């Protein structure tokens, strides 16, 4: 059996009882180690908690050498551990498909992820549209395909969850080209970096999917003891010190319920100003009032 097991957001004990029982039955245990990190537990702490050695699975192993993970899983029990929920990244869907092609039984054990825990900032999950990922810009690579998804969400009034980039066990272009197995230090995108990149692409596109005054809420270390929220405009949060990782951002949609606004007021510096920013922003993409057709 191949088990895909969600670990939750932060602590070693966030795993479900069912997930822990499955791990204890496994011969090999892999920990996916590039789409997210478990903020309050190290590899060694997990090994002690599970009573099993844990193999770190980087991007190369999962995407290019997945056969190693699936190997003998028709005869052995193999666990593939994912921070959050197993289907929080499309890579893991691919792993399941590969296993099924080999007639390997697969069992999924779900857990909390940013996709549902984001509701703790006060925004209603029903009001979210497409989720986007914000990657680190480089001198010659500044992708902006995500901009169109924000625009689509905003046109129909929905919030946009922005997942911020992390770089774990990544090579520089030079080292990759020279075939040197030298890895860069881990990097985690901050809220301010994300907001700066949002503003840069809006200036480039200039179609006002959002503006510098669009309200957003910063989410830091979701699910941990130091979880924090900060609401303000994109421009304001472009200078916000969000502290230790991990971080996410939500761009508010036009259909912001009064209870959502009331909740977000707890996280802003100036309640009156933030409320006015939200009300002003709700005019963007607001449908024109219905006018009955004239009778002939």
Binding-site members are 9, 85, 88, 113-114, 164, 222, 247
70: enclosing H helix or E strand = helix 66-70
8 A C-beta contact, residue 3 and residue 28: no
Neighbours of 192 (CB within 10 A): 16
Name every residue whose Cβ is closer than 8 Å to that of residue 145 and which is 6 or more positions away in sequence.
none
d(CA 58, CA 69): 12
d(CA 261, CA 275): 7
Beta strands at 247-251 and 160-164: parallel, antiparallel or unpaired: antiparallel
d(CA 261, CA 265): 6
> Residue ranges of the alpha helices (H) in 72-231?
90-101, 114-117, 146-155, 173-177, 191-205
HSE (side-chain half, CA atoms, 13 Å) at 46: 26
- Radius of gyration for the chain, computed over Cα atoms and rounded to the nearest angstrom: 22
Positions at the binding site for S-adenosyl-L-methionine: 9, 85, 88, 113-114, 164, 222, 247
Burial of residue 162 (number of CB atoms within 10 Å: 0-12, 13-18, 19+): buried
């Amino acid at each position: 059996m191949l088990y895909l097991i969600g670990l939750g957001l932060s602590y070693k004990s966030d795993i479900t009882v069912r997930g822990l029982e499955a791990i204890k039955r496994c011969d090999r245990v892999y920990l996916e180690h590039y789409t997210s990190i478990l903020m309050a537990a190290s590899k060694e702490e997990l090994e002690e908690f599970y009573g099993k050695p844990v193999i770190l699975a980087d991007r190369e192993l999962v995407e290019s050498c997945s056969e190693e993970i699936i190997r003998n899983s028709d005869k052995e029990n193999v666990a593939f551990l994912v921070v959050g929920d197993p289907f929080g990244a499309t890579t893991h869907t691919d792993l399941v498909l590969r296993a099924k092609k080999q007639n390997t039984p697969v069992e999924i054990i779900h857990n909390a992820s940013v996709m549902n825990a984001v509701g703790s900032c006060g925004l209603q999950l029903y009001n979210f549209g497409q989720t986007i990922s914000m990657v680190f810009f480089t001198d010659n690579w500044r992708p902006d395909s995500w901009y169109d998804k924000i625009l689509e969400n905003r046109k129909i009034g929905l919030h946009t969850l922005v997942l911020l980039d992390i770089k774990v066990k990544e090579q520089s272009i030079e080292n990759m080209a020279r075939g040197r197995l030298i890895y860069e230090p881990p990097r985690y995108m901050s809220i301010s970096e994300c907001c700066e990149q949002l503003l840069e692409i809006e200036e480039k596109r200039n179609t006002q999917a959002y503006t510098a005054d669009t309200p957003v809420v910063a989410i830091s270390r979701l699910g941990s003891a130091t979880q924090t929220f900060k609401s303000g405009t994109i421009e304001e949060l472009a200078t916000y010190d969000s502290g230790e990782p991990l971080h996410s951002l939500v761009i508010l949609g036009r259909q912001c319920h009064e209870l959502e606004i009331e909740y977000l007021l707890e996280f802003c510096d100036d309640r009156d100003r933030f409320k006015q920013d939200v009300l002003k922003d709700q005019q963007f993409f607001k449908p024109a009032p219905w006018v009955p057709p004239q009778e002939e």
